[in-house]
Amino acid sequence: MADDTPPADRRAHPDPYGTPPLPDGDRVRSRPPNTPPPSATTRHQLIAALILAIIVAAIVLRVLR
């Protein structure tokens, strides 16, 4: 009978470099959830303020020149 044959691959040319198949269920390991990055500390904020002050001072000195 015609229905006894297994279905053929519907893709004409499967990609040999595609993603590999997923591993068996007993090998799949869950990842811990992504934690957000820590907020900026006071030291980081002071450094950012210092850099901003240097940039503003450079612009002001350039304008006054």
Residues 26-65 pLDDT 10s: 666 677 778 887 788 888 999 999 999 999 999 999 999 8
Q: Residue 21: pLDDT band by 50, 70, 90 thresholds?
A: low
Whole-number pLDDT of residue 46: 94
Structure tokens at 34: 């992504």
- 17 pLDDT higher than 90: no
The answer to whether the CB of 22 falls within 8 A of the CB of 28 is yes
Name, in order, each residue with C-beta under 8 angstroms of 59's C-beta and a sequence gap of 6 or more.
none
